[in-house]
C-alpha cells in the first residue's frame, strides 16, 4: 500500500534481548527494555519511506530487518501474541532523519500506554467477557418492565436459580454487594440490630461498610479460621443475651467459597451445624454465595445440597459464570418480597433488564458445568507455586493465594505485570490469581512459572 512517497509496512520481530537493546538505540534510549521471553514478538506497523531508486522498503523496515538478522515474518502468519507498536510518522525524504520524529511518536505511545504486551489476566474471575452465544442470547431476549414485574426473562432466571438452590423464590439484583446488603437489611428489620460475621468476610472488608453506613447495622466480628469457617463456640459466645445495653443479634453471615482464605470450601456438614445453632437461638443464617457454584463443583455436589443449610443466599452470575453483571438473592417468598421493596429503595429497580438476565440464564445453563476447568487450572498453579518454594494457601476451588514476605505484595504484582502476568495484591502480605474461562491451562502454567521466578528473586533478596 503506497501513500504519496510513503508505503505502509507491517512486520513482527522476536523479543530477544539484543533486539530490545537495538530498538532502544534506534528509537531513543527511553524506549522500554522488553523483558519478555519467547515466543512473544513485537508487532510493528506504520508508514515507511519508499526509496526513489528501488521498489524495496528502506529506512525503518530495512534497519529493523538488519537488526534482527532477517528473523522476522509476516503478521498474517504469526502464531504468537505480540506487542503492538504503531508508527505513523510521514516524511518526504528517505534518509534516517525520520528517527527523531519516531522517537516522539514512541514517547507518546508509551505515555498513553498503547505500547504494551498482550498480557495474561488472572486478577479476577469478574474479568470474564460474554462469548458470542451469550451475546446472541442477550440480543434475542424477550423483555418487559421488571419494576412492574413484567420481564419474562428476569422471572425465568430468578425461578431457575431458586429451583437449583432449593429455595422458594429469587430476586435479580445488579451486584453481589447489593444482594448481600438487601439480605441483611431484610433480616435486621428493626433498629439496634447486629449480625455475627468473620473478620475476613468479604461483606466486612470489601463492601464499603454498607451494613453500618446504609443499614445502621452493627457487626460483631469473630476470627475467621484458615479454612474459612467460624468456630461454633465463638459464634455461640457472640450471640447477645437480652439486655438493654446491647444490640439484638439477628443473623450469622458465612461466605462460601471464602475469598480471602484462598477459595476454601465450607463443608456442608459444618454449615448444617451452624444452621442448627442459629435456629435454636432464633437467628437467620445468610450465605455470601458469590462463588457457591464453585463450592458445589468442588464437592461434587448439587447446588441444592450446598445451599440447603442456609436460609438466604446471594449468588453471583458475573464471576466464573461469565455474565456481564447480576446476582440472584434466594430465600423464602416473604423474605424476597421484602428484598424487592428494599431493592427499589437502593435504586436497584431496573426496567428492560431481561437483556442482561438472559446472559445470566445462559451462564447458569452453559458455564456452570465447566467451572471444574477453572479448578484444574487453579490446582495446577498451586502445585507449581508450591514446588517452586512459594507459600501458597491450600487450593480447593478457583482461587490461588500465596504469602509474600514483608510488605512486598504490590511489588510482586508490578513485577509480574512487567512480564505479562496480571495478578492483584490482597494487602501487604498476600497476592491472588484467579483463572477463568478466558485463560487456558497453558496460560495458567506460564503464569505460575513467572510468579515462581518473581518470588524466587524476592526470597533471595534481589530487586524485583
For residues 114 and 136, membership in a common domain is answered with: no
Please report which confidence band the pLDDT of residue 7 belongs to, taking 50, 70 and 90 as the band edges. very low
Residue 315 lies in a domain: yes
- Cell numbers describing residue 336: 424476597
Label residue 5 by pLDDT band (50, 70, 90).
very low
Residue 112, domain member (yes or no): yes
Same domain, 97 and 176: no
Contacts 24+ apart (CB under 8 A), 126-130: 126/318, 126/319, 127/436, 127/438, 128/318, 128/319, 128/320, 128/321, 128/322, 128/436, 128/437, 128/438, 129/322, 129/324, 129/438, 130/322, 130/323, 130/324, 130/359
240 and 315 both lie in a single domain = yes
- Give me the pLDDT at residue 227, please: 97
Q: Are 182 and 384 in contact (CB under 8 A)?
A: no
The backbone torsions φ and ψ at residue 140, rounded to the nearest 5 degrees and listed phi first, read -100, 10
pLDDT at 85: 41
Beta bridge partners of 391: none
Residue 77 near residue 36 (C-beta atoms within 8 A): no
Domain co-membership, 31 together with 168: no
Q: Do 85 and 138 have their domain in common?
A: no
Q: Which of 74, 92, 118 is the last residue of a domain?
A: 118
Q: Name the CA dihedral angle for 409, 415, 418, 422, rounded to a multiple of 10 degrees.
A: -30
- Contacting residues for 253 by C-beta, under 8 A, at least 6 apart: 180, 184, 195, 196, 197, 198, 201, 203, 286, 287, 288
Lowest mean pLDDT among 88-92, 242-246, 424-428: 88-92
Residue in this structure with the C-alpha cell 463450592, named with its chain if needed: 295
User: Does any domain span residue 216?
Assistant: yes
Residues 111 and 206 reside in one and the same domain: no
**What is the total count of domains within the chain?**
3
64 domain-assigned: yes
Q: 333, 368, 403 — which closes off a domain?
A: 368
pLDDT at 99 (0 to 100)? 38
The reply to whether 464 falls in a domain is no
pLDDT at residue 32 is higher than 60: no
Within a domain: 159: yes
Whether the pLDDT of residue 379 is over 50: the answer is yes
In this structure, are residues 193 and 218 in contact, taking their beta carbons and an 8 Å threshold? Answer: yes
Position 458 scores a pLDDT of 83
Return the CATH number at 420.
Answer: 3.90.1150.10
Q: In whole angstroms, give the CA distance from residue 280 to residue 396.
A: 31
326: CATH:
3.40.640.10
Q: Which of 71, 93, 118 is the last residue of a domain?
A: 118
Q: Is the domain of 261 the same as that of 229?
A: yes
Interval 54-69: pLDDT, tens: 333 344 455 555 544 5
- Give bridge partners of residue 42 from the DSSP assignment: 13, 83
Query: How many angstroms separate the CA atoms of 367 and 129, rounded?
Result: 12
Higher pLDDT, 18 or 200: 200
| 419 & 342 share domain | no
Q: Are residue 104 and residue 154 in the same domain, yes or no?
A: no
What is the pLDDT at residue 338?
Answer: 97
Query: Packing angle between helix 17-27 and helix 99-111, nearest 10 degrees?
Result: 110
Q: Are 107 and 30 in contact (CB under 8 A)?
A: yes
Angle subtended at Cα 301 by Cα 260 and Cα 202, rounded to the nearest 5 degrees: 20
pLDDT tens digits for range 146-157: 999 999 999 999
Give the model's pLDDT for residue 6: 41
Within-domain flag for 420: yes
Residues 311 and 424 in one domain: no
Across 438-451, average pLDDT: 94
Q: Note down the domain range covering 401.
A: 121-127+371-459
Per-residue pLDDT tens digits for 279-308 = 999 999 999 999 999 999 999 999 999 999
Kindly state the cell numbers that stand for 303. Answer: 447446588
Give the pLDDT score at 446: 94
Q: What is the mean pLDDT of residues 374-381?
A: 97
Distance CA 30, CA 17 (A): 16
- Please say whether the beta carbons of 125 and 374 come within 8 A: yes
398 belongs to a structural domain: yes
Please state, in angstroms and as integers, the Cα–Cα distance from residue 341 to each residue in 98, 143, 183, 217, 344, following that order: 66, 21, 12, 18, 5
Cα(317)–Cα(289) distance, rounded to whole angstroms?
A: 10
Residue 197: name the closest of 161, 228, 158, 163 by CA.
Answer: 228
The residues pairing with 330 across neighbouring beta strands, listed in sequence order, are: 170, 313
Query: Taking residues 201-209, what's their average pLDDT?
Result: 95
194 lies in the same domain as 322: yes
Over residues 389-394, the mean pLDDT reads 96
Residues 100 and 139 in one domain: no
pLDDT at 42: 53
Residue 196's DSSP bridge partners are: 220, 252
Amino acid at each position: 500500500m503506497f501513500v504519496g512517497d510513503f508505503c505502509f509496512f507491517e512486520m513482527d520481530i522476536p523479543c530477544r534481548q539484543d533486539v530490545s537493546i537495538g530498538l532502544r538505540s534506534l528509537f531513543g534510549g527511553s524506549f522500554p527494555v522488553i523483558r519478555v521471553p519467547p515466543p512473544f514478538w513485537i508487532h510493528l506497523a506504520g508508514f515507511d519511506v519508499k526509496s526513489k531508486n528501488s521498489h524495496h522498503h528502506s529506512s525503518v523496515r530495512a534497519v529493523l530487518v538488519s537488526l534482527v538478522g532477517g528473523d522476522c515474518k509476516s503478521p498474517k502468519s504469526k502464531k504468537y501474541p505480540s506487542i503492538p507498536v504503531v508508527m505513523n510518522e510521514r516524511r518526504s525524504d528517505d534518509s534516517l532523519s525520520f528517527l527523531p520524529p519516531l522517537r516522539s511518536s514512541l514517547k507518546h505511545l508509551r505515555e498513553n500506554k498503547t505500547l504494551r504486551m498482550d498480557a495474561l489476566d488472572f486478577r479476577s474471575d469478574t474479568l470474564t467477557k460474554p462469548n458470542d452465544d451469550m451475546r446472541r442470547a442477550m440480543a434475542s431476549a424477550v423483555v418487559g418492565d421488571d419494576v412492574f414485574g413484567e420481564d419474562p426473562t428476569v422471572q425465568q432466571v430468578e425461578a431457575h436459580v431458586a429451583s437449583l438452590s432449593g429455595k422458594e423464590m429469587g430476586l435479580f439484583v445488579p451486584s453481589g454487594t447489593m444482594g448481600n446488603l438487601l439480605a441483611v437489611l431484610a433480616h435486621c428489620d428493626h433498629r439496634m440490630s447486629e449480625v455475627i460475621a468473620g473478620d475476613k468476610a468479604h461483606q466486612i472488608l470489601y463492601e464499603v461498610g454498607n451494613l453500618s453506613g446504609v443499614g445502621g447495622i452493627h457487626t460483631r466480628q469473630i476470627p475467621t479460621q484458615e479454612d474459612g469457617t467460624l468456630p461454633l463456640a465463638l459464634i455461640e459466645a457472640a450471640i447477645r443475651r437480652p439486655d438493654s445495653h446491647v444490640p439484638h443479634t439477628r443473623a450469622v453471615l458465612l461466605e462460601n467459597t471464602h475469598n480471602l482464605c484462598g477459595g476454601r470450601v465450607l463443608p456442608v456438614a459444618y454449615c448444617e451445624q451452624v444452621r442448627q445453632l442459629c435456629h435454636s437461638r432464633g437467628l437467620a443464617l445468610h450465605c455470601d454465595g458469590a462463588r457457591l457454584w464453585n463450592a458445589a463443583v468442588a464437592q461434587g455436589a448439587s447446588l441444592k445440597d450446598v445451599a440447603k443449610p442456609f436460609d438466604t443466599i446471594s449468588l453471583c452470575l458475573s464471576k466464573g459464570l461469565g455474565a456481564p453483571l447480576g446476582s440472584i438473592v434466594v430465600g423464602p417468598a416473604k423474605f424476597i418480597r421484602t428484598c424487592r421493596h428494599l431493592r427499589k429503595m437502593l435504586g436497584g429497580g431496573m426496567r428492560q433488564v431481561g437483556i442482561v438476565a438472559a446472559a445470566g440464564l445462559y451462564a447458569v445453563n452453559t458455564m456452570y458445568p465447566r467451572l471444574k476447568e477453572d479448578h484444574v487450572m487453579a490446582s495446577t498453579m498451586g502445585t507449581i507455586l508450591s514446588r517452586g518454594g512459594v507459600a501458597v494457601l491450600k487450593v480447593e476451588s478457583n482461587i490461588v493465594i500465596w504469602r509474600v514476605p514483608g510488605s512486598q505484595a504490590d511489588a510482586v504484582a508490578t513485577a509480574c505485570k512487567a512480564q505479562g502476568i496480571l495478578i492483584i495484591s490482597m494487602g501487604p502480605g498476600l497476592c491472588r490469581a484467579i483463572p477463568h474461562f478466558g485463560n487456558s491451562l497453558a496460560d495458567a502454567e506460564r503464569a505460575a512459572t513467572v510468579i515462581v521466578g518473581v518470588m524466587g528473586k524476592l526470597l533471595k533478596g534481589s530487586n524485583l
